[in-house]
Structure 1
């Protein structure tokens, strides 16, 4: 009909940020001092404040995100995780020491359970952070089962071990598919369509070979000093430990450089596989800038004994968002509100130190 307007399919997505890492120095010092005073218990509230500030400086179509999580939620999650993990583990150790060494047979099932719980912790962390991330008043959400994800994580981990690491790229993609494929903005689901513009096994092979070769060099460098100490019959001195840790540090720095092309390829592939409506995503990450970010972040952490962790988080978020792009349109205006999500935070992730942010 004359004058009729075609329905609006959606809107293009433009990401931006106003993150200034230097502005997080004061917050870093505050969190560090309060963590010392409270014997690290303040970390739940400190982490929440860092996320709230970072989220507020990230924009989509010039509108900021909002983080609505609370420190108390993280603390309650930690207490629950302490009961789930700490009590059974302590009971098993006491049983081995005071009842019977036969209880050591339960260590293998315990290790298997820990791997499953690590997987569940990863899923629960993403689910919690999604439910506390708001844009235009609408929450994100992650649907799925933490237990099923945990068992899948166990299977992937075993395959990585059996294949001496060669299943790792496939594991990364399968985990990303379960996480991002189950994510939605309100009721608008994200889709996972695996991007195959670049292979992962080429850069992974280079990283694997370099890592093995570097490890051989590390052992060859350390063993003479260790053997001399053993043959002399004297207690290991400070010089030996300095050598060991010095060589280990060099090996770690070598690994950062050797694995950067692979990690950059993984991030590009994950971003390129996510869809929302007709919108496709991409991230322009190359190995050299990633190496620079990683090494400077490590240096900041070492020189400040971890006090400037919020600065490192802000630098990382700025690095990622400034390289994130989208093409196509997404039906953001059609999104309906999602449920609030879990009542507690990522306690298991805090216990295993696997939180992504």
Structure 2
């Protein structure tokens, strides 16, 4: 049976990219040196320059994207975000000095912080969408960051109550609220999750490795406590064993979680719809492992200077594996309204890494 909502005419979406790591080496060195000279203040302009360089090398149906954000608005947004975060906490500290009963406000503030974390994710996504253009039209994210923040809080509480088992459902639920609220101009994307992708199978492996690591670390510490010297003199052999255990644990957790994150990527991309267009990404666990390990090595040996290279490699990784079937009618797309330039500030103030 033919879908009555499918467009009778339109175009198939074909993604392209000309991203080369060598093109971003100079940018990385420039950004790194200017960050040192400005004590990190240039990072907002560095992020903008990296995004603009990546966007212009990414195309859809042969036409490049463009990024219209600027470092000044990111910096101003960061200052506003810092003010919004720390003003309430400073007020509670001052009030607590006056009367200890005001300490009761600490718990509501922590709840508000989790809501703010969710709102920051939404606003950062909205900022990048609003500063991205294709064929002259900008993207937009509809909805309320406050509502998304409360949804984030609810998912976080369920994550804690279930000892992490709610993580796959949490990821899909929040991803749906983001991608399902995104539009290209006034052409709305849809979110329709398929039961085809099993997330809890690979997640179980990652969860078991994580639990085993915590149990092993606690057991190692408890078993070594009776043999520790008194007087505050550290047992360097014991510290060495802890570091070796943590290194093995991090490596094992990275390898085990790769299957889950690969499945999660396939599930998220596969749930996105635009008219009759469907999307898919061919990513396997080994692909993520190789990408992650090589990116980490690049950052370590370059002392972080080649961060733009890592971001370009990650973008190329996704785009080279992304495909689309079906058609979408883009003939009557109307321009979306501009978004706030301060949207990403709260995420920067919270230290949330955004692309």
Q: Identify the TM-score tier after normalising by the shorter chain.
A: over 0.9
Relative to structure 1, the CA distance from residue 146 to residue 345 in structure 2 (aligned partners, 3 Å threshold; closer, same or farther) is closer
Residue 320 of structure 1 is matched in structure 2 by 318
Residue 72 of structure 1 is matched in structure 2 by 72
Structure 1 position 261 matched with structure 2 position 275: no
Q: CA–CA distance in 2 between the matches of 1:87 and 1:242?
A: 42
Residue correspondences, number: 349
Q: CA–CA distance in 1 between the matches of 2:136 and 2:224?
A: 61
Residue 134 of structure 1 is matched in structure 2 by 133
Maintained 8 Å contact 2:74/2:341 = no
In structure 1, stretches of 5+ residues that fail to align are 1-6
Relative to structure 1, the CA distance from residue 136 to residue 243 in structure 2 (aligned partners, 3 Å threshold; closer, same or farther) is same
Relative to structure 1, the CA distance from residue 92 to residue 243 in structure 2 (aligned partners, 3 Å threshold; closer, same or farther) is farther
Deviation at 1:122, TM superposition (A): 0.3
Deviation at 1:302, TM superposition (A): 2.6
Residue 149 of structure 1 is matched in structure 2 by 148
After the TM superposition, which residues 116-265 of structure 1 pair with which residues of structure 2 at under 5 Å, given as runs? 116-225=115-224, 227-229=226-228, 231-236=229-234, 240-265=238-263
Residue 48 of structure 1 is matched in structure 2 by 48
Q: CA–CA distance in 2 between the matches of 1:305 and 1:101?
A: 46
Deviations 1:150-176 (A, max 9, x none): 011000100110111111111111101
Q: CA–CA distance in 2 between the matches of 1:191 and 1:308?
A: 36
Structure 1 position 292 matched with structure 2 position 290: yes
Relative to structure 1, the CA distance from residue 33 to residue 288 in structure 2 (aligned partners, 3 Å threshold; closer, same or farther) is same
Residue 4 of structure 1 is matched in structure 2 by none
Maintained 8 Å contact 1:73/1:345 = no
Relative to structure 1, the CA distance from residue 321 to residue 213 in structure 2 (aligned partners, 3 Å threshold; closer, same or farther) is same
Maintained 8 Å contact 2:299/2:306 = yes
Relative to structure 1, the CA distance from residue 311 to residue 228 in structure 2 (aligned partners, 3 Å threshold; closer, same or farther) is farther
Relative to structure 1, the CA distance from residue 84 to residue 233 in structure 2 (aligned partners, 3 Å threshold; closer, same or farther) is same
Deviations 1:103-156 (A, max 9, x none): 432221111111000000000011010000000111011000000000110001
Relative to structure 1, the CA distance from residue 220 to residue 302 in structure 2 (aligned partners, 3 Å threshold; closer, same or farther) is farther
Maintained 8 Å contact 1:75/1:345 = no
Deviations 1:61-103 (A, max 9, x none): 111110100111111110111110122223334554x445544
Q: CA–CA distance in 2 between the matches of 1:350 and 1:227?
A: 44
Deviation at 1:300, TM superposition (A): 2.2
Q: CA–CA distance in 1 between the matches of 2:69 and 2:108?
A: 34
1:277 corresponds to which of 275, 278, 282: 275
Relative to structure 1, the CA distance from residue 71 to residue 227 in structure 2 (aligned partners, 3 Å threshold; closer, same or farther) is farther
Q: CA–CA distance in 2 between the matches of 1:198 and 1:121?
A: 28
| 1:313 match: secondary structure | helix
Relative to structure 1, the CA distance from residue 84 to residue 210 in structure 2 (aligned partners, 3 Å threshold; closer, same or farther) is same
Residue 105 of structure 1 is matched in structure 2 by 104
After the TM superposition, which residues 87-98 of structure 1 pair with which residues of structure 2 at under 5 Å, given as runs? 87-96=87-96, 98=97
Q: CA–CA distance in 2 between the matches of 1:159 and 1:209?
A: 19
Q: CA–CA distance in 2 between the matches of 1:237 and 1:91?
A: 43
Relative to structure 1, the CA distance from residue 143 to residue 284 in structure 2 (aligned partners, 3 Å threshold; closer, same or farther) is same
Deviation at 1:232, TM superposition (A): 2.6
Q: CA–CA distance in 2 between the matches of 1:241 and 1:99?
A: 43
Relative to structure 1, the CA distance from residue 106 to residue 249 in structure 2 (aligned partners, 3 Å threshold; closer, same or farther) is farther
Moved over 4 A (4+): 222-227, 237-242
In structure 2, stretches of 5+ residues that fail to align are 1-6
Relative to structure 1, the CA distance from residue 92 to residue 306 in structure 2 (aligned partners, 3 Å threshold; closer, same or farther) is farther
Maintained 8 Å contact 1:18/1:57 = yes
TM-score normalised by the chain length of structure 2: 0.93
Residue 3 of structure 2 is matched in structure 1 by none
Q: CA–CA distance in 1 between the matches of 2:90 and 2:233?
A: 32
TM-score normalised by the chain length of structure 1: 0.92
| 1:332 match: secondary structure | coil
Over aligned residues, Cα RMSD in angstroms? Answer: 1.8
Which moves more between the two structures, 192-201 or 145-154? 192-201
